[in-house]
């Protein structure tokens, strides 16, 4: 049986996911913002700064899937309300994570895109709920998942009647310890061979290292990614989560300008043909 995610099943047509005025898959999605929503000041200030630097979507977790139960768990509903205020002020649509199927209904009242995190990729009841929610879903690759498993999780959402799925490569766990995860950029063109769904890359969680985020962002763009998700904070040393992989707004601005320039250059290569 041909799956709904398959490019062939879709007669070779690529899906674009409309979020506000951005057609992800056609327009480049530059999703930026803090790891966690910490306060109104932190989120709104960061939202303005990432917008000025070139972001077209805002990220920020109100529900945080933390490794330790004693780590900051997020502000919950209060965080969602802060995100809605940031959207009102900046016009940036909001990408935020739901970690419990019971929360999906009301998280989707605040979110423009529901994020399913790496740790929840195969939470099938969560996938089914996000499939029913009527909002686009950003599905992160599980840290020990194969491409086939990841695409089958997208299928759970599509099978509920929600065609608006964006895949997000965020690195997998390997024997390498230098980086937080091994960012598997080969998945970008691999997904595009098999599926019509757009795919974005998260080099922040994918590397866990500040100095690697810009080069891996450029590599992702060169590989055909439809967007990037990057952690930015107005003052990273103060961040309550993932501060070591969080960019200063100026660093993100430089990255954004390079990404834009690289996309223009790559566009100019479209006209290059093999010699006859
Ligand atoms: C996140 O993007 O906030 C996050 C927790 O990432 P991941 O699920 O990829 O670890
Ligand atoms: Mn994070």
Spatial distance between the Cα atoms of 134 and 20, rounded to a whole number of angstroms: 14
Is pLDDT at 233 greater than 90 in this prediction?
Answer: yes
Which letter does DSSP use for residue 56 in this model? S
275 band by pLDDT with thresholds 50, 70 and 90 = confident
Say yes or no to pLDDT of 1 above 90. Answer: no
pLDDT in tens, 72-94: 999 999 999 999 999 999 999 99
Ligand nearest to the CA of 117: 1
Checking if the pLDDT of 183 tops 80, the result is: yes
Instruction: Kindly list the protein residues whose Cβ atom lies closer than 6 A to any atom of ligand 1.
Output: 35, 61, 65, 97, 117-119, 140, 170, 202, 205
Tell me what pLDDT residue 71 has: 94
Least confident piece of the model among 13-17, 234-238, 266-270: 266-270
Residue showing tokens 């795919």: 199
**Best substitution site from 119, 205, 207, 239 to test ligand 1's pocket, by max atoms within 8 Å of Cβ?**
205
Q: Which atom of ligand 1 is nearest to the CA of 65?
A: 5
Q: Give me the residues near ligand 2 (ion), CB cutoff below 5 Å.
A: 35, 242
Stretch 194-223: mean pLDDT, rounded?
A: 98
pLDDT at 276 exceeding the cut of 80: no
Indicate if the pLDDT at residue 124 is higher than 80.
yes
Q: In the predicted model, what is the mean pLDDT of residues 15-19? A: 98
Average pLDDT taken over every residue of the chain: 97
- In whole angstroms, how far apart are CA 123 and each of 26, 76, 146, 150? 29, 20, 15, 12
The string of pLDDT tens digits covering residues 248-267 is 999 999 999 999 999 999 99
Long-range CB pairs of 78-81 (<8 Å, 24+ gap) are: 79/36, 79/37, 79/43, 80/107, 80/110, 80/111, 81/110
> From CA 9, how far away is CA 158, in angstroms rounded?
13
Average pLDDT over residues 28-46: 98
Report percent pLDDT > 70 for the chain.
100
Taking alpha carbons only, the member of 26, 97, 35 closest to residue 56 is 26
Q: Treating both helix axes as pointing N-terminal to C-terminal, what angle do 77-90 and 40-53 enclose, rounded to 10 degrees?
A: 40
Spatial contact of 225 and 199, defined as CB atoms under 8 Å apart: yes
**166: β partners:** 138
Token readout for 88 is 């009102």
SS3 content of the chain, % helix, strand, coil (to 5): 40, 15, 40
pLDDT, residue 271, reads 87
- Give the DSSP H/E element, type plus range, for residue 84: helix 77-90
- Torsion sign, CA atoms 271, 272, 273, 276: positive
Residue 143 pLDDT: 98
In this prediction, residue 156 has a pLDDT band, given cuts at 50, 70 and 90, of very high
For residue 109, the model assigns a pLDDT of 97
pLDDT at 227 over 90: yes
Pocket residue to mutate for ligand 1, from 71, 96, 97, most atoms within 8 A of Cβ: 97
Question: For residue 114, is pLDDT > 80?
Answer: yes
Quickly state the pLDDT bin for 270 (edges 50, 70, 90). confident
Average pLDDT (210-224) is 98
Distance (Å, whole) CA 140 – CA 166: 9
In angstroms, what is the C-alpha Rg of the chain? Answer: 18
DSSP three-state, residue 99: coil
CA of 218 to the centre of ligand 2 (A): 20
């Amino acid at each position: 049986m041909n799956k709904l995610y398959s490019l062939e099943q879709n007669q070779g047509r690529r899906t674009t996911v409309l979020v506000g005025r951005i057609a992800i898959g056609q327009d480049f999605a530059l999703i930026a913002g803090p790891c966690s929503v910490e306060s109104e000041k932190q989120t709104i200030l960061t939202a303005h700064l990432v917008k000025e630097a070139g972001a077209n979507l805002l990220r920020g977790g109100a529900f945080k899937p933390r490794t330790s139960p004693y780590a900051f768990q997020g502000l919950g509903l209060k965080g969602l309300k802060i995100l809605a205020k940031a959207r009102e002020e900046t016009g940036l649509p909001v990408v935020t994570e739901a970690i419990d199927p019971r929360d999906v209904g009301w998280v989707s009242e605040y979110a423009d895109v529901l994020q399913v995190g790496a740790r929840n990729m195969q939470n099938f009841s969560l996938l089914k709920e996000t499939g029913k929610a009527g909002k686009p879903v950003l599905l992160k690759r599980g840290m020990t998942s194969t491409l086939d498993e990841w695409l089958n999780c997208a299928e759970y959402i599509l099978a509920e009647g929600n065609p608006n799925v964006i895949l997000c490569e965020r690195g997998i766990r390997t024997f390498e310890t230098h980086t937080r995860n091994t960012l598997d950029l080969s998945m970008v063109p691999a997904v595009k061979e098999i599926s019509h769904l757009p795919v974005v890359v998260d080099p922040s969680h994918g590397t866990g290292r500040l100095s690697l985020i810009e080069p891996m962002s450029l590599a992702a763009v060169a590989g055909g990614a439809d967007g990037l998700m990057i952690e930015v904070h107005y003052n990273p040393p103060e961040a309550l989560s993932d501060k070591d992989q969080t960019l200063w707004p100026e660093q993100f601005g430089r990255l954004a300008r390079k990404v834009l320039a690289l996309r223009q250059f790559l566009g100019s290569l479209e006209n290059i043909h093999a010699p006859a």
